[in-house]
Amino acid sequence: MLSACGGGGGVSSSFSAVSVLSDGSGVARIAGGSSTLVLVTGVDAYIAQGNAGLTGTSDGNLKLDQVPIIGSTNVATIRQGAVTDKGGTSQNITVYEINNATEGFALIEVPQYDVVYFAAGSDKPLSNIPSGSFTYTGNQVVRDWQGGSFKEFGDVTINADFTNKEFVYSGNSSNTGVNGIGYLDTSTGKLTSVDASVIANGSAYTATIHGLLSGAGASSVTGVFHTNDARPDYAGAFVAKK
């Protein structure tokens, strides 16, 4: 999860595209000391900058456990504070993390440019992928993608069927719902649903979910999602564990 801010604690990271949307935003994957998905505007430029070592906090040794704790849920510790990128721009960060800040998601808001992005990932490598079915519980956030101020944090349940390579996602908060059925790649630990749904403020959208399993025995899962309109109206991130 260290790569949520683009840093790697001195470990070389590689940036690659998972998806590119019509408005130029998209999902990037950062692999190295950790495995992280980042939903960001200008994803091609973000990947190029990341591979050139230009994306990240000003302190390459930043640890998420340095961000102040403001609360907790029944699954996650909640942290909130500010970090500074390598260009000197302040970013407000809200983190929901599990397992001592090694896994979780981050909502990053950049007031100076009215830009939002999401990151979700883990410092724990995936190993010993199981068979059978398991339930993961955790938290999610849904926010206006760019512009606006609507955001809600809520709960998520993910039922993963490793035998049939399928997962069911069900997340909700007061004014949002995220639901979907998708493919679970048992060789890589990737979760993908391209026909999920997001309901926010009374409006319904089709949506895409990208997730990554991590830890021994696939102990946790993190990911990001967005609505499927040409310029997404809503997006978010999640973390859950067995």
Reported as a single tens digit per residue, the pLDDT across 90-140 is 889 999 999 877 899 999 999 888 899 999 999 999 999 999 999 999 999
Q: Are 18 and 29 in contact (CB under 8 A)?
A: yes
Percent of the chain with pLDDT over 70: 90
Last residue of a domain, which of 97, 122, 147? 122
Task: Indicate the average pLDDT of the chain.
Answer: 90
Residue 127 lies in a domain: no
Instruction: Please state the pTM of the whole predicted model.
Output: 0.93
**pLDDT tens digits, 19-59:** 999 999 999 999 987 899 999 999 999 999 889 887 655 44
Residue 191 lies in a domain: yes
Is residue 19 located within the same domain as residue 116?
yes
Number of domains in the chain: 2
Q: Which residue has the tokens 């949002």?
A: 176
pLDDT tier, 60 (very low <50, low <70, confident <90, very high otherwise): very low
Is residue 9 located within the same domain as residue 111?
yes
DSSP for 104-116 reads: EEEEEEETTTTEE
Residue 225 lies in a domain: yes
Q: What CA–CA distance (Å, rounded) separates 90 from 231? A: 25
Summarize the confidence of residues 64-80 as an average pLDDT: 90
**Res 64: pLDDT:** 62
Helix (H) or strand (E) holding 236: strand 234-241
What CATH number is given to the structural domain containing 216?
A: 2.40.160.90
Residue 80 lies in a domain: yes
Last residue of a domain, which of 56, 90, 122? 122
- The distance from CA 86 to its chain's CA centroid, rounded to whole angstroms, is 21
Is residue 53 located within the same domain as residue 148?
no
Is residue 112 located within the same domain as residue 151?
no
**Res 80: pLDDT:** 96
Q: Which residue has the tokens 């938290």?
A: 139
Last residue of a domain, which of 90, 122, 154? 122
pLDDT at 152 over 90: yes
**Res 34: pLDDT:** 80
**Res 7: pLDDT:** 44
Is residue 114 located within the same domain as residue 173?
no
Domain assignment of residue 59, given as a range:
2-122
Q: Which residue has the tokens 């599990």?
A: 98
**Res 74: pLDDT:** 95
Q: What CA–CA distance (Å, rounded) separates 115 from 118? A: 11
Is residue 68 located within the same domain as residue 103?
yes
Q: Which residue has the tokens 């996650």?
A: 76
Is residue 7 located within the same domain as residue 108?
yes
Q: What CA–CA distance (Å, rounded) separates 220 from 7? A: 22
**Res 204: pLDDT:** 97
